Structures are given as C-alpha cells and as structure tokens.
Structure 1
Amino acid sequence: MFTRTESFRSFLRFYPIISIIVAIHIILWLLINSSLPLGDTLAQQMVGFNFLIAEGEYWRLITPIFVHGGFGHMLFNSFSLILFGPALERMMGKVKFIVAYIFAGVIANIATYYFEPLNFAHVGSSGAIFGLFGIYLYMVVIRKDLIDQANSQLIMTILVIGLIMTFINSNVNIIAHIFGFVAGAIIAPLLLPKRSLSHQPLSTFNRSVGERKRIQIPREFSPKHIVWLIIIILVIIGIIYK
C-alpha cells in the first residue's frame, strides 16, 4: 500500500494531484530561497502569520500548506505525501482527494489561528498530511472493507509513532497536527467510496498498471518490506522534527 514500484512517468499519470502538489512544494522552495525579489515577496505573503490573518489576510489560512521553512522540511513532507497519498487519490478520485487535503490543512491552520498567540507564524503541510492519517484511521476503525489487516496494523503503528513524537518535540505545531488529523477523520465518510459487496480493498491494487487486484499478504517480512518500513518511520520522524 505504501511501497512505490511505479516508474516516474507512471506515477505522474496515476497520481496527478500528488505530483502537482509536490511540484508546487519544490518550485516555491526554489523561488523563496533564490535571490529573486519574487522569492522575498512569496515568503512574506504566504506564511501563516496570525496577526495578519486577524487583519483580514485570510489567504494565509491556505498558503502555508504549500510553503516550507527549509529543504529538509520540504523534502520530508513531500516524501510523506508520495508515500501516503497515492492509495487515497486512487480510492477517492482527484477532486475528492484535493478537497480532503486542503480541508484538513485549512482546519489545522484555523485552529492554529484560534489557539496560538497573534505573534505566531507557521508554514508547512503537516496538518494536511495528518488529515490523510485521519482518513486512514477512519478506514481502520469504521471502513474495514477498504483496508486489509496487514495495512491496518501498519497504519496504527505509524499513527502511534507520529502522535507520540508530536507531543515530545517542542518545535512542533501540535494544534495543527491534532486538528488536521481530526478533520481528516471527520471528512472521510463523506469522500470515501460507498460500501459495496463487490468492492476490494484498495491496498491490494496493482500499482504498476493502476488496476485493482487481490494479492496475497506475505507471511513474513522480506528484506524489501523491512527497508520500506524503516523509510516510512524515518519519514514520520522527519515530518515531526522539521
């Protein structure tokens, strides 16, 4: 479900929304860190600064979702989207996926505005990404028909690691993580596919051709699975320690 086997071209074709979001991350980071005057302007206009939001600059509830504070911040958030987003984009479709992603990110930023002081400033897509985790949790608890047991266990492991590290790191926007997560769980029943007796869990689709297909869950982890599990854990750590 979270291991990527597609070629670069296939990934762009199967997951256009994720590809566009990651491209925006990279382009904005390059522009903001360039010597161009446009870079300074973008940085000033897109950061989520609570005082300016209170002054009526409400676009700052959206723009921070796509801006990052440094290369590592941008890299880990983009990589996490590449790992955790594709299954949901295929399952919900392009429009519903972007609605869920933006909704979770905006709710996270609104909560940050209300619960943090006016001098608080923030950037990053962590709130939106935690919204994806919220959707996965809803699937694990309520929509078991959409996810198999092996991936349910993996999701719960990821969530436990992510939530624990959210609270032990003092530099994390805890409010954004929590409210993004809750927003994803709330919107999940509105956007996930309706129940169907013939529906197969999306976790079993063949990523190389984008077709759904029942596969056997391995009885034990192969070296490849262990490597991917380590990568996923490192990405989670990277999201938190930004």
Structure 2
Amino acid sequence: MKNYLKKVQHILPIFLLAVFLCVFGLALFRYIFDYKLQILALSDKAWEIFLPMLLSVLSLIVIRKRFKILRHKDPSKDTFIYLVICAAVLCALLVNSQFYYNAKFSKNQTIENVDKISSDKNVKHIKIKSYYVDDSYLNYKFESDVSGKYGENLIVNFYFVAAILKDSLEEPKDDLPEVWFANKFSKKINNRESDDKKNAEYKAFREKCYQDLEHFNFYNNAYFLRLSTSEDKTVYDKLILNVVENPQNKKLIILSPSNGKFVDDGKSILAWFFKILGIGTFIILFALIFPKYVEKPSNAKEDDDFKFFINVFIPSKEFFITPILLDLNVLVFIILSLFGVNPFEPKTEELIRFGALTSAFFHGESWRIFSSMFMHAGIMHLVQNMVVLVILGFFCENIFGRKRFIIIYFLSGIVAGISSLLWHNGNLVAVGASGAIFGIMGAFAMSLILQNNFKETKLALLIIFAYFIVNIFFGLISNADNAAHIFGFISGMLFVLIFYIFKE
C-alpha cells in the first residue's frame, strides 16, 4: 500500500476531469448542432454508442502519459490494462449521459388530431386524442438479415405502414399524407438449422404476421414515438413511397405505437450515471493497489506503453503502406457509422447501398471490387482483420518492398472477390479486407518456402498454415467467405512465385 495515495492523486483527478469534459462536451455539441440548429442527421445509435466509444478512446490517448507513473510488479507485463479500465468506465458514462440527454430534451405533445403535430423533430412523444388509420394506404414487406458474430442468427422482420388521417370523414388526398403509422413484427431463426427447417419457421411466421395484421388494433396504444434517423425509418420511408409518390419531397412524420411511460424526466437514468461513476471509481481505486509507483518515470519513447499503438496508425519510412491501409479501413468504418450504419451488426441492405461486392459487379458496377475491400460487417470484423494486417504488414513490407506489397494486396483482393462471386454464382454480398490480407499471408508463406531453408522458416510456416486451416474450419460453421480466403491465399502465393521467376 506504499505510495498508494500518490498513485490515486496522479490518476483519479485527471480521469474525473476527462469524464466531466467528455460528458458535458458531447452533450453541448449535441445540444447546439442536433437540438438547436438541427443540422446533424446522425442516428441515435451513433450518438449513444459509436461517438461515446470513439471519444473515450481519444480521451485516454490524450491523458495516457499520466499512467507512466505505474509499473507492473512483473517487468514483462505492461500497464495498458489500467488505461482499458478507465476507457471502459468513461465509455459507460458517456453512453448513459446520451440516454439521459434523449430523455431530458425529448419534447412531449398532447394534441386533439394529427393536424396539430409539431414540425419540431425534437417532439418525440406524441399523444393524439383522436385519429383515423386509413388502411387503403396500407403497405407491408418482409425483410431478413443475418446477425451474430458468425452469422448464427437469421432475423426476419415484417414491416407495415398506413396513413394516419384526422378522422374517417377526411377524404383521401391525391398527394402524399404527411403522418404515417409504422410498426413491425420480428422473429429470430437459428441460421445453423437446415434449409427445410428454416423455411418451415419462416412460412409459419409469415402466416402469423398476415393473421395478426388482419386483426391488428391500430388504436391500442398510450402514445406514439416519432421516428428519427434509423434503420427502421429507412425501411418505412421506402414502403410509403411504394404506396404513393412524393414529387414535392414532403417531409414525412412517421409514428410508432408505444405503451411505455409518456413523460420521462430521466431521473432513473441520471441515478444510474452516479451508480456507474461510483462503481467505476471503486474499480479504478482497487486496481491502483497492484502496480508500483515510479517517482520519476523515464521520458524515453520505449517506456510509453501506448506509443506502439499510436505508431501503428502513422506511416514511417520502414512501415509505410500498412498504416495507410489501416487508416483507410478505420476511416471508412467511422464514416459509415456516422451515416447510420450499425457499427456492430450492419444490415445487408446498408452494406449493398454503400458498396458491398454483389453480382452488380458484372453489370457495370466494377467499383464495388475496391469499395468492398474497405468495408466491414461490424467492429469485431474490422478489428480481427486489422490486427492480422498489421502483423503481416510489419514483416511483409520489408520483404517485398512497398510497390510489390501494394500490388499483391490489391490484386489478391480483386482475385478473391471475383473468384468468390463466381463460386457462389453471384448470390453473394461480400465486404472486408480478408481476401487481400490472405493474399499477403499466402505471399509471405511462398517467400519463406522459396528461401529453401525449412529449418529456420518451419515455425513461421506452421503458424501461417495453422491460422489458414483454422479460419477455413470456422468458415465452414459460420457465414465466413471461405472462397475469398482460399483464392486470396493462393493468388498471393502465385504472385510471389511470378515475381521470383522474373527475378531469376
């Protein structure tokens, strides 16, 4: 316990300052640009999940030097875990604060009929005393998507919309009604079941949806939630435009029924903020018991535990192409998330819209072969690919040189993508850098084989081929694109062999 108070005085105040600045800074930014000026069309998930994650990581990067006074008792271990703990607590507080923001600044409105609905997008809870749902405008559709880390869940959604009018006496208009009722039914199906069993479950769900819609009570709700930018709203917008055209590009008000609490002042959410702060502070204080305290930490670069992580993203003389590829992949992921794409389980439709590889490649959209290489199906997919890219790039940039490295990377990605499309007869939606990365892996393996020195290279070759085989195995029990991995790996080997033959 010696020097414990010194550790606390050095770490805790700066952490609490980071909490204060991040929580109030993000809230102020959202208040000005989203609530007052209403010029940012970010989804709630972007505000409540993605931005808190990004801000917590950036904040800890800024204050990381404060943690240099900590040293693990075992010299072979670093103190990165303490940064991770602080980042996790900060992220949880930011997420909670954004939930509180939603509850606090969402306006409520009680009105006589739909003509009185406010145009202010911050009015999110609306109670309408009298309205009529005109089912002559009714439209519906089924949509399915794969979710889960390994695609183990098949999510089937039944979306339906209908126009909301002032009353049953209101005559249908030629132009688009402004207010719409929107709802959905959902079912999760085990994607690892046989096709026959999945089809049977889907048909049963489909029949149930039709029956439930036929007897659906459009008036059995306490109030309506006004939908803002979200995945569901995009689907509802398309359904509405399939019913009637919108030549004047009229802004639609889409309402979803709710039986929850109409007025929520956010007190329960605020209480959880202080609970998280208290528990998080206790965890940090407890964790600070274990590391040693260094009175005068060295300023040498190698002593900064976070230095390597930062340098991975910065091109240098010896490590140039890989950081650029890493930065581009991360940047594309951030941009798509800010545009409303789910950073954890993006919908197939979203991926296609922004450039996933599909059979459209063969019908004039050849750009998809490149755009798909920089897109990923969730943050875990991105992290897995980027970790392998950095490890391989660290070795292979020096082995092949910049020009050959980038040639192997992109040509392997192109071959992997086209081969995968042909293998699946065009019935494919593919994203990810794995085809190109497996190409680098195959190239690395071939370069080791051509050295003709198995004694020195056998361990590296065993690791490469073991990783390759394990990936193929897991690809067989998930929805991973094995064809892209295999053809990418083989093409990388062939490109190095070609370089070797011409060099000889």
Sort the TM-score into its range (normalised by shorter chain): 0.5 to 0.7
**Aligned residue for 2:331?**
27
Query: How far apart are 1:61 and its partner, in Å?
Result: 1.7
Larger radius of gyration: 2
In percent, how many aligned pairs have the same letter?
24
Q: Secondary structure at the match of 2:478?
A: coil
Query: How do residues 215-230 of structure 1 correspond to structure 2 at under 5 angstroms?
Result: none
Query: How far apart are 1:41 and its partner, in Å?
Result: 8.5
**Aligned residue for 1:75?**
383
Q: 1:36 to 1:121 in 2, by over 3 A?
A: closer
Query: Going by fraction, where is helix more abundant, 1 or 2?
Result: 1
Q: Which runs of 5+ in 2 are unaligned?
A: 1-301, 344-348
Aligned length: 187
Query: How do residues 86-165 of structure 1 correspond to structure 2 at under 5 angstroms?
Result: 86-144=394-452, 149-165=455-471
**Aligned residue for 1:58?**
366
Residue pair 1:32, 1:43 contacting (<8 A) in 2 also: no
Q: In the alignment, which of 347, 350, 353 is matched to residue 44 of structure 1?
A: 353
Q: 1:19 to 1:161 in 2, by over 3 A?
A: closer
Q: Does 76-85 or 186-195 show the bigger shift?
A: 186-195
- The letter of the residue matching 1:12 is P
Deviations 1:132-188 (A, max 9, x none): 12112212322236xx74543133233223223313433111110110011000000
Q: Which runs of 5+ in 1 are unaligned?
A: 196-242
**Aligned residue for 1:200?**
none
Query: Going by fraction, where is strand more abundant, 1 or 2?
Result: 2
Q: Secondary structure at the match of 1:121?
A: coil
Report the TM-score when normalising by structure 1: 0.68
Q: In the alignment, which of 311, 315, 323 is matched to residue 12 of structure 1?
A: 315
- The letter of the residue matching 1:183 is S
Q: Secondary structure at the match of 2:315?
A: helix
Q: 1:158 to 1:93 in 2, by over 3 A?
A: closer
Query: How far apart are 1:28 and its partner, in Å?
Result: 0.4
- The letter of the residue matching 1:55 is H
Q: 1:138 to 1:161 in 2, by over 3 A?
A: same
| Distance (whole Å) between structure 2 residues aligned to residue 177 and residue 187 of structure 1 | 15
- The letter of the residue matching 2:444 is Y
Query: How far apart are 1:88 and its partner, in Å?
Result: 1.2
Q: Secondary structure at the match of 1:135?
A: helix
| Distance (whole Å) between structure 2 residues aligned to residue 143 and residue 175 of structure 1 | 28
Deviations 1:101-143 (A, max 9, x none): 0011100001012111333101001111111121122123222
Q: 1:194 to 1:63 in 2, by over 3 A?
A: same
| Distance (whole Å) between structure 2 residues aligned to residue 136 and residue 154 of structure 1 | 9
What is the RMSD of the two structures over their aligned residues, measured on CA atoms?
2.9
- The letter of the residue matching 1:16 is F
| Distance (whole Å) between structure 2 residues aligned to residue 172 and residue 138 of structure 1 | 24
| Distance (whole Å) between structure 2 residues aligned to residue 103 and residue 17 of structure 1 | 15
Deviations 1:50-75 (A, max 9, x none): 2x112211111222111111111111
Q: 1:169 to 1:132 in 2, by over 3 A?
A: farther
Report the TM-score when normalising by structure 2: 0.34
- The letter of the residue matching 2:431 is V
Residue pair 2:412, 2:435 contacting (<8 A) in 1 also: yes
